[in-house]
A and B are shown apart, each in its own frame.
Chain A
Amino acid sequence: MRRFASHRPLVRFVVRRLAALVALSIGITFIAFALTQVVPGDPIRANLGQIAQTQPDVVAAFRHHYGLDRPLPVQYLRYLWNLLHGDLGQSEQTHDSVLHDLGQFAPATAELAITAMVIAIVVGVGLGILAAVRRNRPTDHALRLVSLGGISVPTFWLALLALYVFFFRLGWVPGGGRLDPGVLAPPHVTGLYTFDALVAGQWSTFWDAFRHLILPSLVLALFNVGLLTRYTRSAVLEVIDEEYVQGARAKGLPEHVVVLRHVLRAAMTSLITVIGLAFANVMTGSVLVENIFAWPGIGQYAYQSATALDLPAIMGVSLFVAIVYILVNFVVDLLYGVIDPRIRIA
């Protein structure tokens, strides 16, 4: 094992990270379980009808079925056991299994989050490079103001403002939801309507889904555009005066080639890390943005189940988002390790 490992640092690295991932996931289930124990709501009242909860035998059967009559550690193990079988319980509001709900709502959020991330990365990194290249010139100062403004605007407020201006006043985009009423969702492949519509060759559906996507994803992206602009600027500045960059310049390569080929690659390691952070921001923002744009995603589901004290749904959402989040970071870690071999040793 040792030989194997020492010859394959990347494999060892991946295995180590995978082990950590599993340990972390178990920790997350523990936190999710612990949280539900402090919820004051009584699951019996919440889950049984008004009449049913006055009948002792029905209540007892319910408690037994969900193991509520057992000691806490046993309840936790039972919970883990159910999780392993994909049983996240049943949501009190939707009357469907939480797993089914997540399957229904997750693609909506994924579509929004991915679009917002792509916009944030393209625009943020682009503006960041621009600011670095134009360091201390008016462009840089202007971009600094804009990006600081971007991270200072309350997302919920911006969402309202954007909806008011671009939908109501100007009528450029539709007002909320994923599709116009009457437009049916494309055949399910990934649940991302734009993608699925393209796969099915339904151009008008694609266009409709795209128009609905654009405003919420721009709003969601803005905070990260600001963040990424500042990050990219400093990451680029860290390397822009390094010798090999100077060397490339000396060779007479055009500035944009130098920036794209050498500087950006060198700045990549710090950028990848930030993108992990940006993902967390997008999840936070989506709770607020989905609410305002009537976007039927995980954010709304989380909000609705949290305010309705829908225990299984709350547990399910937190688990799901946490696991997606550590998976994203796992991938970021791997990319990091691949790009910069020194990290693996650390």
Chain B
Amino acid sequence: MSELTPTQGAFGTRVSLRRWRAVSGSAVWRQPLAVVGVSIALAWLLIAIFAPLVAPHDPLAQDFLPLQHPSHAHLFGTDELGRDVLSRVLYGARLSLPLALLLVSLSLGLGLVLGLLAGYFRGVVDGVIMRLTDLVFAFPAIILAMVVTASLGPSIRNAVLALVFVSWPTYARVVRGLVLSTADSEYVQASRLIGASARSALFRVVLPNVIGPVIVLATLDLGNAILLLAGLSFLGLGAQPPAPEWGQMVSQGTENFQYWWLSTFPGLAIFTAVLAFNFLGDSLRDIFDPRTMSGRGS
């Protein structure tokens, strides 16, 4: 059942080498959606880096009157422990963005190594790795992640580990597919003929060809990573208090429905961050796939 999930990344991006080579970096900037996406993502990134400068208050300080409506003093109001919600939302970027990056790079790293091995050595190695991906694919991500975090104990570290465990196979599949098509190219055949070692061929020829498209795929996956992490935290299986994490803040807010600002603002934060990466991702996808390209008259 290795065809169970095709070599498609987020949103069905078909990765082909031909298209990857055809992409010019500047094409991205001609897409208004991409510009919006990059701007929002950049804004969140800057907020994450400069949170202590941007946030008006300490996100953990229980200094204020609890449950104040949004006002001039507290733009997003205060929570039940008298903390400034705006500061918590801004600091939340410090958790969600780096963790999503970490999650995606770990999955990518693991998937890259296993995909390279499978694609290059084929045979038994390929068989074993691909059967493993089938197995992991058979479990819906959140259920498996729930079981893993519940087993290891709920913490943000375990949530990331659990999600790495369920998301590496996508990358392994894509990388394997790319390696297979690269390895068959005349260039590699030729380098094999002249006696280049397997390892040097893998690193000199195959890897550079594979890494580009995969990194693009990973970018597209960032939005999903943010959503999944927030979902686990919402269920109480991710970030633990008092850490200002968006999903957990929404969950706290649901207990106090009448104080709408408690869950509305962190929810919007998740939405905009994910939207930014999806805007960017969708634009990249268009560039990959000229026939579906928006903005190109037909």
Contacts and interface: CB of A to CB of B under 8 A. Distances in A.
B150 A307 contact: yes
Contact of A322 (B138, B150, B254): B138
B139 A284 contact: no
A326 B138 CA distance: 6
Interface stretch (B15-23, B46-54, B271-279): B271-279
Given A157-B267, A318-B147, A329-B1, A152 B141 contact: no
B6 interface: yes
B3 A302 contact: no
Given A136-B296, A154-B267, A234-B12, A283 B143 contact: yes
A274 B267 CA distance: 27
Contact of B292 (A149, A154, A234, A317): A234
A24 B3 contact: no
B119 interface: no
Nearest to A163: B257
Contact of A136 (B1, B138, B150, B295): B295
Contact of A227 (B11, B131, B234, B250): B11
Contacts of B289: 234
Contact of B275 (A149, A164, A241): A149
Given A136-B294, A234-B292, A40 B151 contact: yes
B97 interface: no
A31 B143 CA distance: 13
B165 to A, nearest CB: 10
A292 to B, nearest CB: 8
Given A164-B257, A333-B3, A152 B150 contact: no
A156 B234 contact: yes
Nearest to A337: B3
Contacts of A303: 146, 235
Nearest to B282: A148
Contacts of B282: 144, 148, 230
A287 B135 contact: no
Contacts of B6: 273
Contacts of A68: none
Given A230-B282, A287-B146, A318-B143, A274 B292 contact: no
Interface stretch (B101-109, B201-209, B223-231): B223-231
B144 A318 contact: yes
A136 B298 contact: yes
Main DSSP-derived SS at the B contact region: helix
B271 A157 contact: yes
Interface in B258-282: 263, 267, 270-271, 274-275, 278-279, 282
Given A28-B138, A141-B294, A321 B278 contact: no
Nearest to A238: B291
A140 interface: yes
B135 A154 contact: no
Interface residues of B, number: 58
B152 interface: yes
Given A234-B289, A273-B6, A24 B294 contact: no
Contacts of B138: 24, 27-28, 322-323, 325-326
A321 B292 contact: no
B35 interface: no
Nearest to A223: B227
Contacts of B243: none
Interface in B12-49: 12, 33
Nearest to B297: A136
B148 interface: yes
A346 interface: yes
Given A28-B135, A343-B3, A314 B298 contact: no
Contacts of B230: 154
B242 interface: no
B80 interface: no
B97 to A, nearest CB: 15
A307 B236 contact: yes
B1 A306 contact: no
B152 A152 contact: no
B10 to A, nearest CB: 9
The residue in A38, A39, A322 that gathers the most chain B C-beta atoms within 10 A of its C-beta is A322
Contacts of B292: 233-234, 237-238
Nearest to A239: B291
A157 B250 contact: yes
B126 interface: no
Nearest to B234: A156
Contacts of A35: 147-148, 151
Nearest to B153: A40
B166 to A, nearest CB: 10
B142 interface: yes
Given A24-B134, A273-B5, 15 more contacts: A27-B138, A135-B294, A136-B294, A136-B295, A148-B282, A152-B227, A153-B271, A154-B274, A156-B234, A277-B5, A288-B234, A306-B149, A307-B235, A318-B147, A325-B140
5 contacts: A24-B135, A140-B294, A284-B231, A303-B146, A306-B146
Q: Which 10 A-B residue pairings sit nearest by Cβ, starting from the closest? A: A157-B267, A283-B140, A306-B150, A152-B275, A152-B274, A234-B292, A284-B142, A322-B138, A39-B151, A306-B146
